[in-house]
Amino acid sequence: MNLEKLIKPKVAAVIGANERAGSFGNYSAVNALQNEGRIQIYFINTKTPVVLGKKTYPNLSALPEVPDCILIATPAKTCAPLLEEAGKLGVKAAIIEAAGFSEEGTEEGKRAEEELRVIAEKYDMSVMGPNCIGLVNNIDKVKLWGMGGTEFDMSVRKTGVAYFAQSGTMSIHAVSCPYIDVSYVFSMGNSTMVMIEDIMEYVLEEPEVRMLAIYLEGVRDGRRFMECLKRAAELGKPVVIHAAGMSQKGAVAAASHTGNLASSRSVYQAVCNKYGVILVESIDEFLCAVNVLSTWIDRMPKGANISAVNGSGGENAVCADLSELYGVPLPDFHPETVKKLKEILPGFANPRNPLDITAITDSVYDVMIKTLETIGDDPNVDAVICSIASFAEPNAKDREQAKIFGESLNERYAAPMIEYAKRPGSVPLMVIPMTEDRRDAVWRGRLREAGIPILANSLAGYKVLGKVCKYLEYRKRVHTLENAAPLKRHGERILSLSEYASKIELSDVGLPMPKQAVVKDKEELLKKAAEMKRPLALKVSSPDILHKTEAGGVKLNIYSDEETDAAFDQILASCRAYRPDAKIEGILVQEQAPKGVEMMIGITCDRHFGPMLLAGMGGVFVEVFKDAAMYPCPLSKQEAEDMLRSLKAYKLLRGYRGSEPCDIDALTDIMVKISQYAMSRRDELKELDLNPVFVYPEGKGVSIVDALVVKYGD
Amino acid sequence: MNLEKLIKPKVAAVIGANERAGSFGNYSAVNALQNEGRIQIYFINTKTPVVLGKKTYPNLSALPEVPDCILIATPAKTCAPLLEEAGKLGVKAAIIEAAGFSEEGTEEGKRAEEELRVIAEKYDMSVMGPNCIGLVNNIDKVKLWGMGGTEFDMSVRKTGVAYFAQSGTMSIHAVSCPYIDVSYVFSMGNSTMVMIEDIMEYVLEEPEVRMLAIYLEGVRDGRRFMECLKRAAELGKPVVIHAAGMSQKGAVAAASHTGNLASSRSVYQAVCNKYGVILVESIDEFLCAVNVLSTWIDRMPKGANISAVNGSGGENAVCADLSELYGVPLPDFHPETVKKLKEILPGFANPRNPLDITAITDSVYDVMIKTLETIGDDPNVDAVICSIASFAEPNAKDREQAKIFGESLNERYAAPMIEYAKRPGSVPLMVIPMTEDRRDAVWRGRLREAGIPILANSLAGYKVLGKVCKYLEYRKRVHTLENAAPLKRHGERILSLSEYASKIELSDVGLPMPKQAVVKDKEELLKKAAEMKRPLALKVSSPDILHKTEAGGVKLNIYSDEETDAAFDQILASCRAYRPDAKIEGILVQEQAPKGVEMMIGITCDRHFGPMLLAGMGGVFVEVFKDAAMYPCPLSKQEAEDMLRSLKAYKLLRGYRGSEPCDIDALTDIMVKISQYAMSRRDELKELDLNPVFVYPEGKGVSIVDALVVKYGD
């Protein structure tokens, strides 16, 4: 696939260019004209010799040269013949705007899309769409884009963010946002041919692209998607993903929209945790997050210690509440900072973070800049948030007030902030206005120029800031970036290993298993039992009996040979009565583990992103209280411990109400080993369940009491 | 307290009226002039004979009549003498704007405020403030308000919402919101004299006041506050509370701001649940909620079944996601609706809720109105949400596009929505734009006129809609509105009852308790034991041994007399060794309850709002997993069951993995009885703890295994 011709064409043709206001063809033509001079543009129109003052050609063959890329703005039924014609001529890239393909959910639509795919493959063409708006390349100033009206003016925007949208409307919402620097916008449409992963790989390496922002309804190639996230993490380029269609009804909506079958939200969250991706669930948060990261890109805060400066007690209380709610750390000031602030703000008994400097009207500039300097110098402060001015577009009354004061509220507060931001060693600033509004473009621009983002409002602002703080923490640590997504499609047959076989397989990869044997008769049983430490556990081993306890197939706390003998008989009798036709392979005898804190460790394999490690407390804790952590394999001991730390049950592992702390080291050991096992079996493993795992006090290790491995067969 | 003179003065004087731009005195004077003609206004200024073209008086005594209310806009140190002077003259109401009192946290500030309070009491004056902006009465057109600039123009606003703000800035944020009908705005300030509860009582009864909106940092009189909420619920007037300062740092911020000591967030949430109050934690949500409820006030949806109509697949997916996340029910359409929608939207295989009608450009009016009609007629639909147009103020490109189409996107979608809303039997509509912006005032006004609110953006919009849905459900049910807030201040001494005494007290109010006795010697023990069913439990009874198990003070599973005898000796020996100086009252012997599902039921008494019932699973479930419900006493059986239903552990009570369902009836019985007990002891109870309560299968009842009652003494 040659994406160069698609993304950076030197010659492009708009098929269906016309003057019918509101049509794809008209928008596409108007937009393409903005490219003129930088790249060669041709218009194709079968009926009109001139469109928008530009000569047209009746078809591709009539052009004086073969275009690198064509933008097809004509209806669905014309697309296949046009693509065929282009392919024959040697065109290597195309964008298809029309809807009416697989997204309709009809057989006809699917067939029509498959026809396009076959043509694209035949001629080795990079085809974006169908059902898309097109692309904007603001690095080379290429605008092959079928929508107008609220779109941005490319000429005034700098480069920075590469946007990907699997929804036309969502790409418009993002592109309409006038204050974000854009390198690229890709409206992906149905992504049948050129996929989001293809383009991510390409643009990530460009130095002008500073971060990625993705509206995602599903991935096609989880392995490559994760590789892109890995590369972004290595390059230090932030990624923001708005993953939609994650709810039950949302998945139906998204599926009928783009035909994607999404992984669950918890899987996306786990993948995002691994790669430090900021995952959001609304467009408000999406734009806030992109705004913050792209504005801060050249001076990212060193950590997540936030300080806030507000202009009233009410704002201060709200700031503290929302910070706590959304996980924004507001550490206390250093005593030296408190001392200095008392001098700057003389009426203040005890300056605290968040800081209410009150509605000062005198010496605002002076107080603001000294306050910012003092807080910024505090070793406990990595960034400062201000809610002191809204920077809203002024209304009539604001203008009146500005006349009174000789300056507006915006001017009064912006000036010291911008001045502070210019000083060497200053920490990054951010403005979170309390309420929604349209911001004043001039002040927003000046603040942004100084690296100060203005967020949408307090709710979205603090919610996003909490996520940005997690990202800032992520950047300070080392991570296992390797991914374990499947290399090939697994078989359809499902193969459950018996407990015995599961444990053998797992002990082969270094997991500590209790001594065990499957025996056919009592003689063998007593021989094996003689080699084991008491008490023993005896269990039926049968592929047909899944619920062993229910079938009377489990006997515990066995000490003597007599008890062993009796248990053998009882299990067989009970299981035969329970299910007379069950195939009984034998009796599993094992050393019974003493009770410990009951955990469950498991693997579930996502079809896109591969094996996910699960950890939680056993029994009702995971199932009723949903207290489980998930992380993509493989992972490090540190990451395994972070998983445990994220559980509410972590308190119990750390020793609760006088009980001894558990052997977390031994537990994370098996988590790491299982993640490696799962990675090595990525193409065949379906799920794995160690439940319960008994965890003993520090230094005493763990016991894997029960194990189940389920694989895909061929 | 005569609030009439404060809230509805016929004659008012502004003390400190001046022409110094930006001063309280200037703003207050400018605003007061808007009242002229409706009420008599006087200006007081000791230096200037004319202010803003109006004659001034040097002092209150010089006025031709005694004002009903004075607005004191002069500095803090002048306030007490002015109030004294006014009191002597017979002025019965005052508003004090100056800061510099108790909110500063200094002894001097507290003294100055106490001085004001004493004067107000002496002359029986209703005094608002200090440290406030004032009040706006839009029913009688009185504006005694010390701030300008972004404030609203009273003349164009209708009545509707009574606003209360315990923060000047927050009242400004609310008042600046140009699209909410306002009856009153009260900036409460330090609330030393006139409290929020006083004014709530007064305005609730006015027919022009349709709902209350409160920015709250704390209440002074919980009982009266709850009585107001009760009255609002009875009158069907919605209440929205933005409770700030609920986080740890927020409480500090709020306390240093207004001197209030707040109850915990969970207590506020419980009180709000009882009275159907919408509780929010950000100003964005606050304004959204007020906007929705005040716009819908004359045609509240009959229930919480929401349907959504969107214009793209992306919007549809986001709508579904946010609805699920924030608890907005999107029930499936009735089959008849699906059939009709297929005719209106012919390309659609399967119309679903949420509905994506796609970016239609032809016959928009026709399609929209038919779609709304069809969905509105569905018996499963109580209201319809649209995200199909943003109604943002047009920018240059929008205006350009409007020229192309002859109408703007806003016009195109607003017209059918307004038309539909006018039809008899139509269901309420709401617009949730995807992203923040400033809305077009004209369209917002027209839609609001038709009862259609436009919310801020998708994040705040759906978050608030979820809460509005809970409120709509609340309106359909019957509630226990009676409140159990303390009638008098409790004593300071704390008195813990022994387990024995606690159980006696609770069995007196009808709670089922195991048979029990405290014995001093073995003879008495064996005599009492003979009357009890085995097994028995023996426990030490000592005020000095709180952790009985740790002290070896508990023996369980006792059957024979020999075991009883031995247990007596062992407990005494062990406890004496554990704590030689402990006063041992005797040995508690009781019938040991068989194991059941382990719950805890408790009471904690909030100093403002009185006893709160707590319920959750015993042991680690409440403490580690925070799975507990809280509700203000008293409550009904239905409300007790709703509490249990809100627990994650409810699954276990309903019978989990084959276990029998529990006796929820018996459990809710004791919850109701405890709530009544707590209400009757509201002034002396500190806390109560039944932990564990064993719950048995349906029809088998419950056992209260341990009980602890803690009271306040005198």
Per-residue b or e along B455-488, where b marks 16 or more CB atoms closer than 10 Å to that residue's CB: bbbbbbbbbbbbbbbebbebbeeebbbebbbbee
Q: How far is CA B29 from CA B20, B79, B152, in A?
A: 11, 17, 16
Among A207-216, A489-498, B312-321, top mean pLDDT goes to: A207-216
A317–B284 CB contact, under 8 Å: no
Q: A437 and B438: CB-CB below 8 Å?
A: yes
Cβ B244–A314 below 8 Å, yes or no?
A: yes
Judge: A435–B400 Cβ closer than 8 Å, yes or no.
no
pLDDT > 70 in chain B, percent: 94
Q: Does residue B596 contact residue B568 with C-beta atoms inside 8 Å?
A: no
Inform me whether the C-beta atom of residue A219 falls under 8 Å from chain B C-beta atoms: no
Residues A606, A673 share a domain: yes
Residue range B373-420, pLDDT digits in tens: 999 999 999 999 998 888 888 776 667 666 666 667 788 889 999 999
Q: How many domains is chain B built from?
A: 4
Q: Could you tell me how many CB contacts below 8 A there are between chain A and chain B?
A: 307
Nearest to B257 among A215, A245, A313 (CB): A313
Q: Over range A632-654, report the average pLDDT.
A: 95
* Residues B433 and B391: beta-carbon distance below 8 Å: yes
Taking the C-alpha atoms of residue A369 and residue A406, their distance in angstroms, rounded to an integer, is: 20
Q: Report the C-alpha gap between B215 and A313 in whole angstroms.
A: 12
Residue A460 contacts B, CB cutoff 8 Å: yes
pLDDT of residue B260: 45
**What is the tens place of the pLDDT at every residue in B451-468?**
999 999 999 999 999 999
Instruction: Dump pLDDT digits (tens) for B629-670.
Output: 999 999 999 999 999 999 998 998 998 777 899 999 999 999
* Lowest-pLDDT range of A638-642, A667-671, B546-550: B546-550
Supply the range of the domain harboring residue B548: 515-591
Q: How far is B401 from chain A (nearest CA, A)?
A: 5
- Tell me the CATH number at A4: 3.40.50.720
- Any domain includes B505: no
Task: Tell me how close the Cα of A405 comes to any Cα of chain B, in angstroms.
Answer: 8
A464 and A331 assigned to the same domain: yes
Q: Are residues B561 and B604 in the same domain?
A: no
In chain B, which residues have their Cβ closer than 8 Å to the Cβ of A166? 314
Question: What residues of chain B, 573 to 632, have a C-beta less than 8 Å from chain A?
Answer: 620-621, 624-627
State yes or no: pLDDT of A424 exceeds 60. Answer: yes
**Selected residue of A246, A282, A388 to mutate for chain B interface (largest B Cβ count, 10 A):** A282
Chain B residues within 8 A of A311 when measuring between CB atoms: 169
Compute the nearest-CA separation of B657 from chain A (Å). 10
pLDDT band at B262 (very low <50, low <70, confident <90, very high): low
Confidence band, pLDDT 50/70/90 cuts, at residue B250: low
User: Is B283 near chain A, with CB under 8 Å?
Assistant: yes
The residue-averaged pLDDT of A574-597 equals 92
User: Within an 8 Å CB–CB cutoff, is residue B330 touching chain A?
Assistant: yes
Q: Which of A264, A298, A332 is the last residue of a domain?
A: A298
Decide if pLDDT at A73 tops 60. Answer: yes
What is the percent of chain B with per-residue pLDDT over 90, rounded to a whole number? 72
Task: Please tell me the predicted confidence (pLDDT) of residue B406.
Answer: 64
A341 and A248, same domain (yes or no): no
The reply to whether residue B250 touches residue A318, judged by beta carbons under 8 angstroms, is yes
Query: Model confidence over A599-624: pLDDT tens digits?
Result: 999 999 998 999 999 999 877 677 77
Model confidence band, residue B491 (pLDDT cutoffs 50, 70, 90):
confident
User: Do residue B253 and residue A104 have CB atoms under 8 angstroms apart?
Assistant: no
Looking at the predicted structure, is the pLDDT value of residue A501 above 90? yes
- Choice among B129-143, B165-179, B184-198, B585-599 with the minimum mean pLDDT: B165-179
Return the residue in B133, B321, B546, B652 with the most chain A beta carbons within 10 A, the one to mutate for interface testing: B321
Cβ contacts of B246 on chain A, cutoff 8 Å: 321
Residue B442: predicted pLDDT: 87
Q: Are B164 and B212 in contact (CB under 8 A)?
A: yes
**Closest residue of A to B628, CA-based?**
A625
Q: What's the mean pLDDT in B342-366? A: 81
Note whether A647 contacts B: Cβ–Cβ < 8 A.
Answer: no
- Predicted confidence band at B609 (pLDDT cuts at 50, 70, 90)? very high
Which pLDDT score, from 0 to 100, does residue A405 have? 60
Instruction: Indicate whether A85 belongs to any domain.
Output: yes
**Tens-place pLDDT, residues A22-50:** 789 999 999 999 887 889 999 999 999 99
Q: Residue B625: which of A395, A459, A627 has the nearest Cβ? A: A627
- For the segment A464-480, what is each residue's pLDDT rounded down to a tens digit? 999 999 999 999 999 99
Cβ neighbours of residue A342 closer than 8 Å, sequence gap 6 or more: A348, A351
Angle at which helix A409-422 crosses helix A441-449, to 10 degrees, equals 10
Residues A647 and A610 occupy one common structural domain: yes
3-state helix, strand, coil in chain B (%, to 5): 40, 20, 40
Co-location of B379 and B468 in the same domain = yes
- Whether residue B256 sits in one domain with residue B385: no
Residue B627's pLDDT is 86
Chain A nearest CA to B56, separation (Å): 23
pLDDT at A261: 47
pLDDT tens digits along A648-693: 989 989 987 778 999 999 999 999 999 999 999 999 999 999 989 9
- Distance between A130 CA and the closest CA of chain B, angstroms: 15
Question: CATH number for the domain including B317?
Answer: 3.40.50.261
**B257 has pLDDT over 70:** no
Tell me which residue in A21, A281, A434 faces B173 most closely, judged by beta carbons.
A434
Helices B222-235 and B265-275: crossing angle, nearest 10°?
Answer: 30
**Is residue A256 scored above 60 in pLDDT?**
no
Average pLDDT (B482-493) is 89
Q: Please report the pLDDT score of residue B653 as a whole number.
A: 93
Tell me which of A561, A576, A591 is where a domain ends: A591
* Three-state secondary structure call for residue A424: coil
Q: What is the pLDDT of residue A255?
A: 54
A168 contacts on B by Cβ (under 8 Å): 312, 314, 359
Alpha helix positions (H), B297-358: 313-325, 335-344
**Cα separation of A615 and B601, whole Å?**
31
Look at residue B487 and tell me if it is in a domain: no
Judging contacts by C-beta atoms under 8 Å, the chain A residues touching residue B458 are 282-284
- At residue A714, the pLDDT reads 74
When pLDDT is cut at 50, 70 and 90, the band that residue B125 belongs to is: very high
User: Do the domain assignments include residue B639?
Assistant: yes
Domain-embedded: residue B503: no
Chain-wide mean pLDDT for chain A? Answer: 91
Please tell me if residue B433 touches chain A, with a CB cutoff of 8 Å: no
Q: What is the pLDDT of residue B252?
A: 63
CATH number of the domain that residue B614 is part of? 3.30.470.20
The pTM (predicted TM-score) of the whole model is 0.93
Handedness of CA A43, A46, A49, A52 (dihedral sign): negative
- Percent of chain A topping pLDDT 70: 94
Clarify whether residues B119 and B179 are in a common domain: yes
Average pLDDT over residues B147-165: 78
Task: Check CB contact of A63 with chain B, cutoff 8 Å.
Answer: no
pLDDT for residue A48: 94
CA distance to partner chain A, nearest, from residue B453 (Å):
15
- Spell out a b/e string for B246-267, using b for 16 or more CB atoms within 10 Å of the CB, else e: bbebbbbbbbbbbbbebbebbb
Is the pLDDT at B108 greater than 80? The verdict is yes
| Residue to substitute from A180, A252, A318, interface B, most B β-carbons within 10 A | A318
Domain check: are B438 and B573 in the same one? no
pLDDT digits (tens, 9 = 90+) for A426-463: 999 999 998 888 888 888 999 999 999 999 999 999 99
| Residue A650 Cα, gap to closest chain B Cα (Å) | 9
B541: CATH: 3.30.1490.20
| CB neighbour class for B691 (10 Å; exposed up to 12, middle 13-18, buried from 19) | buried
ipTM of this complex prediction, to 2 decimal places: 0.91
A138 inside domain: no
Cβ–Cβ under 8 Å, residues B689 and B600: yes
Task: Note the pLDDT of residue A367.
Answer: 92
For residue A285, give the chain B residue with the closest CA.
B459
pLDDT per residue as tens digits for the range A327-372: 999 999 999 999 999 999 877 667 899 999 876 767 888 999 999 9
Using CB atoms, which residue from B359, B436, B627 is nearest to A456?
Answer: B436
Kindly determine whether residue A253 and residue B317, on different chains, have CB atoms separated by under 8 Å.
yes
Please tell me the predicted confidence (pLDDT) of residue A650. Answer: 93
Mean pLDDT (chain B, rounded)? 90
B547/B631 same-domain check: no
What is the model's pLDDT at position A50?
96
B423 in A contact zone (CB under 8 Å): no
* Domain assignment present for B386: yes
What is the pLDDT at residue A260?
A: 45
Q: How far is B160 from chain A (nearest CA, A)?
A: 21
**Domain presence at residue A497:** no
Domain's final residue, options A298, A325, A346: A298
Provide the pLDDT confidence category of residue A259 given band limits of 50, 70 and 90: very low
Task: Specify whether the CB–CB gap between A211 and A239 falls below 8 A.
Answer: yes
Q: What are B4-32's pLDDT values in tens digits? A: 999 999 999 999 999 998 789 999 999 99
Q: Half-sphere exposure of A312 toward its Cβ, with a 13 Å CA cutoff?
A: 23
Cβ contacts of residue A282 below 8 Å, gap of 6+? A242, A460, B318, B321, B322, B457, B458, B459, B462
Show Cβ contacts of residue B698 under 8 Å, excluding neighbours closer than 6 positions: B660, B661, B662, B663, B664, B665
* Least confident segment among A210-214, B255-259, B528-532: B255-259
Question: Which of A216, A312, A316, A657 to mutate against chain B (most B CBs within 10 Å)?
Answer: A316
Q: What is the pLDDT of residues A130-178, one digit of tens each?
A: 999 999 999 999 999 998 754 556 677 788 999 999 887 887 777 777 7
If you average pLDDT over residues A586-611, what whole number do you get?
A: 93
**A7 and A96 fall within a common domain:** yes
Domain match, A378 and A433 both: yes
